[in-house]
């Protein structure tokens, strides 16, 4: 976020001098940031994956890595747009953090029977969550449980019930958490579309800022010329003819 906010004055100056266009600046900025964000995403997700002890499977690991990196790129794109829209690092961090936290809550708290279910489809974090859960638990044949039954006592009555925290297999986990079956391709496509949409919004925001800055500077330049002419007319310089 802070990089774009700091780069804007330099970019406006270079654009005014016709050094490069907006598209060239935006593309080169993405290319310059790619190695840093790519390496950061790979390192973070690798550490999280193996510390979580999810699946000892190379194919699942690289698939989770790919989906997670797409979601991180969407977060970076959203950060670009928010920083350009607010031009304030503190405000942009607060807006981005609030949106990410609320989006993550939609992934878990919104059930399939609630009328606000459609809100989770606006979040790229939901598509990452849905894909990772599917990749990790889809091929589990059985899940061992150390305590399959629990004892419930109420009104001096004791009853033994199945432990709701135990799952028979991976399919049972996906059903309980309302995970889409065979929705991996859909999640990847929609995450790509959100990524492109957010990058386009950031690019259009830069174009709007350039137009507004140009119009403001042009009007300010005209006002300066008029004010100088009026001051010169009201207070003519008696030595004007001797100068130059």
Tens digits of residue pLDDT in 57-71: 888 899 999 998 998
Q: Which residues contact 69 (CB under 8 A, 6 or more apart)?
A: 38, 41, 42, 45
Please state the φ and ψ torsions of residue 154, each to the nearest 5 degrees.
Answer: -150, 135
Q: CA geometry: angle at 240 spanning 234 and 244, to 5°? A: 145
Question: What pLDDT, in 10s, does the model give residues 195-206?
Answer: 999 999 988 888
Instruction: Work out the average pLDDT over 23-34.
Output: 86
Number of domains within the chain = 1
- pLDDT higher for 218 or 180? 180
Looking at residue 164, its pLDDT comes to 65
Structural domain contains residue 27: yes
In Å, how far are 20, 71, 127, 224, 225 from 214, measured between CA atoms?
Answer: 16, 35, 40, 15, 17
Looking at residue 216, its pLDDT comes to 52
Residue/partner pairs of 202-210 with CB below 8 Å, 24 or more apart: 202/26, 202/77, 202/80, 202/81, 202/84, 203/22, 203/23, 203/26, 205/81, 205/84, 205/85, 206/11, 206/22, 206/25, 206/26, 206/84, 207/22, 209/8, 209/12, 209/84, 210/12, 210/15, 210/22
1-10, 42-51, 78-87: range with highest mean pLDDT: 42-51
Structural domain harbouring 99: 2-233
Instruction: Work out the average pLDDT over 22-40.
Output: 86
Structural domain contains residue 243: no
Percentage of the chain surpassing pLDDT 70?
71
Given a cut of 50, is residue 244 above it in pLDDT?
no
Structural domain contains residue 239: no
Structural domain contains residue 46: yes
Structural domain contains residue 214: yes
Given a cut of 60, is residue 230 above it in pLDDT?
no
How far is residue 85's CA from residue 205's CA, in Å, rounded to a whole number? 7
Of 213, 193, 212, 184, the residue nearest 77 (C-alpha): 193
Structural domain contains residue 196: yes
- pLDDT higher for 99 or 45? 45
Q: At what angle do helices 124-137 and 58-86 cross, to 10 degrees?
A: 170
Structural domain contains residue 113: yes
Structural domain contains residue 241: no
Instruction: Work out the average pLDDT over 87-110.
Output: 71
Specify the range with the lowest mean pLDDT, choosing from 102-111, 132-141, 235-244.
Answer: 235-244
Given a cut of 80, is residue 168 above it in pLDDT?
no
């Amino acid at each position: 976020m802070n990089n774009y906010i700091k780069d804007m004055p330099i970019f406006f100056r270079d654009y005014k001098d016709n050094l490069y266009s907006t598209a060239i600046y935006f593309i080169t900025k993405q290319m310059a940031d790619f190695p840093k964000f790519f390496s950061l995403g790979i390192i973070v997700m690798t550490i999280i994956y193996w510390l979580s002890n999810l699946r000892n499977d190379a194919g699942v690991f690289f698939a989770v890595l790919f989906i997670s990196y797409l979601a991180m790129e969407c977060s970076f794109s959203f950060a670009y747009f928010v920083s350009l829209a607010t031009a304030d690092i503190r405000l942009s961090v607060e807006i981005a953090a609030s949106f990410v936290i609320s989006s993550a809550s939609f992934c878990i708290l919104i059930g399939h029977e609630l009328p606000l279910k459609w809100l989770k489809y606006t979040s790229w974090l939901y598509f990452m969550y849905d894909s990772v859960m599917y990749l990790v638990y889809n091929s589990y044949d059985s899940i061992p449980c150390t305590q399959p039954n629990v004892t419930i006592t109420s009104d001096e009555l004791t009853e033994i019930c199945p432990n709701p925290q135990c799952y028979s297999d991976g399919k049972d986990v996906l059903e309980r958490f309302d995970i889409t079956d065979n929705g991996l391709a859909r999640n990847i496509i929609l995450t790509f579309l959100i990524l492109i949409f957010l990058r386009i919004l950031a690019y259009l925001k830069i174009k709007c800022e350039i137009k507004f800055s140009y119009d403001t500077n042009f009007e300010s330049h005209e006002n300066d010329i008029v004010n100088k002419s009026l001051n010169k007319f009201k207070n003519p310089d008696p030595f004007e003819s001797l100068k130059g």
